[in-house]
């Protein structure tokens, strides 16, 4: 039931009259000869579900003996290419690759680790850990630890181990236990903990985290709390700050739009409109250009101005 419910909150849906061979032909034609028909590519791929894109990829290989993603990379470039490749990647594989790049790139991109590990469901985190091991023959926890500092490391490990265990242990009040409580709880339980904390201390959990912690540890704790309260609100905020001010964090924009368009983009748009004085659509429109903009706006779905 929940997956059906979730599908209803996405902006990108499975195409009802799907024909993988016809789609593969359209894409091949769009890339054949001189010049590329980017518009044909983006219109088609944003109107198919991820599962359908995987079928198109397999059929393309059968029909033309070539790898669709390699062909797309050969024809496209820049941010538009990054977005299209993201759309062509199965969700768990996309998360695994994003985490790997965040860990193994120059300097750990803690923002990516925080975003993925805080926002995915406990089941997804399990799948990510398993897929990471299969793909790289490495332990995600060890890789994360080898590359991050003290507090952050401890918290991440607890999160990884505990995101899918709603344990009932008793804790003291030091920072480590504060961390453990967050890592060991279901979202529903966390919300009750936050309410109790508010009654007891007179502060919202977020205020205490802001006051008591700093740096990446603060970012991670805040993300965990925000996701426990509302994943769509967390992503609305993430998107807003990716585009606000000078310059755009395109990697974040691409990652969130590609990974949430079939999940909860409708809810993200609603939260965005509620939290900020503009629509997600209008902000993307003002912040991006070309085929990249066109594709992002199709993933966004509509304007809530």
Q: For the domain that residue 205 is a member of, what is the CATH number?
A: 1.10.220.10
The DSSP code for 147 is T
The verdict on 166 and 263 lying in the same domain is no
pLDDT of residue 60: 98
- Full-model pTM: 0.87
pLDDT higher than threshold 60 for residue 175 = no
Q: For the chain, how many structural domains are there in total?
A: 3
The verdict on 119 and 154 lying in the same domain is yes
Q: Which residue has the higher pLDDT, 263 or 162?
A: 263
The verdict on 116 and 178 lying in the same domain is yes
pLDDT higher than threshold 50 for residue 171 = no
pLDDT of residue 167: 37
Q: Domain range spanning residue 255?
A: 232-300
Domain boundary among 200, 229, 258: 229
In a domain, 1, yes or no: no
Per-residue pLDDT, averaged over 199-223, amounts to 83
pLDDT of residue 170: 43
C-alpha distances in angstroms, 263 versus 57, 84, 135, 224, 259?
22, 18, 25, 19, 8
pLDDT tens column, 37-95 = 999 999 999 999 999 999 999 999 999 999 999 999 999 999 999 999 999 999 999 99
Q: Residue 83 phi/psi, 5° resolution? A: -65, -45
pLDDT tens column, 135-152 = 999 988 777 766 556 666
The verdict on 105 and 225 lying in the same domain is yes
Under the banding of pLDDT at 50, 70 and 90, the label for residue 168 is very low
Per-residue pLDDT, averaged over 180-186, amounts to 57
Under the banding of pLDDT at 50, 70 and 90, the label for residue 20 is very high
C-alpha distances in angstroms, 128 versus 152, 154, 167?
20, 19, 21
Tokens of 90: 């199965």
Q: For 72-75, which contacts have Cβ atoms below 8 Å and span 24 or more sequence positions?
A: 72/27, 72/31, 72/41, 74/31, 75/31, 75/36
pLDDT of residue 90: 97
The verdict on 127 and 218 lying in the same domain is yes
pLDDT of residue 221: 81
In a domain, 11, yes or no: no
The verdict on 122 and 225 lying in the same domain is yes
Per-residue pLDDT, averaged over 120-126, amounts to 79
Q: Which residue has the higher pLDDT, 233 or 219?
A: 233
The verdict on 223 and 237 lying in the same domain is no
The verdict on 205 and 240 lying in the same domain is no
The verdict on 129 and 183 lying in the same domain is yes
User: Of 261, 269, 271, which Cα lies nearest the Cα of 303?
Assistant: 269
pLDDT of residue 120: 86
Q: Which residue has the higher pLDDT, 170 or 226?
A: 226
In a domain, 289, yes or no: yes
Q: How far apart are CA 76 and CA 31, in angstroms?
A: 9
Most confident by average pLDDT, 45-59, 120-134, 193-207: 45-59
Tokens of 184: 């060991």
């Amino acid at each position: 039931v929940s997956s059906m419910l979730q599908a209803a909150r996405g902006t990108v849906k499975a195409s009802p009259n799907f024909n993988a061979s016809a789609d593969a032909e359209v894409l091949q034609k769009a890339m054949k000869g001189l010049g590329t028909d980017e518009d044909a590519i983006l219109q088609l791929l944003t109107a198919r579900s991820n599962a359908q894109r995987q079928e198109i990829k397999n059929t393309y290989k059968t029909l033309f003996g070539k790898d669709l993603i390699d062909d797309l990379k050969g024809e496209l470039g820049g941010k538009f290419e990054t977005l299209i490749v993201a759309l062509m990647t199965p969700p768990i594989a996309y998360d695994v690759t994003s985490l790997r790049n965040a860990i193994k790139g120059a300097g750990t991109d803690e923002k990516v680790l925080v975003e993925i590990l805080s926002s995915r469901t406990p089941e997804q985190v399990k799948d990510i850990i398993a897929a990471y091991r299969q793909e790289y023959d490495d332990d995600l926890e060890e890789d994360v630890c080898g590359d991050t500092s003290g507090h952050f490391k401890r918290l991440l490990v607890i999160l990884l181990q505990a995101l899918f265990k709603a344990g009932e242990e008793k804790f003291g009040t030091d920072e480590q236990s504060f961390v453990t409580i967050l890592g060991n709880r279901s979202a529903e339980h966390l919300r009750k903990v936050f309410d109790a904390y508010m009654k007891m201390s007179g502060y919202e959990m977020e205020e205490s985290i802001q006051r008591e912690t700093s740096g990446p540890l603060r970012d991670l704790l805040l993300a965990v709390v925000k996701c426990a309260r509302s994943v769509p609100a967390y992503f609305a905020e993430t998107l807003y700050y990716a585009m606000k001010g000078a310059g755009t964090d395109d990697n974040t924009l691409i990652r969130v739009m590609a990974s949430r368009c079939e999940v909860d983009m409708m809810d993200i748009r609603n939260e965005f409109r509620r939290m900020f004085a503009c629509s997600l659509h209008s902000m993307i429109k003002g912040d991006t250009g070309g085929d990249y903009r066109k594709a992002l706006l199709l993933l966004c779905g509509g304007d809530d101005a």
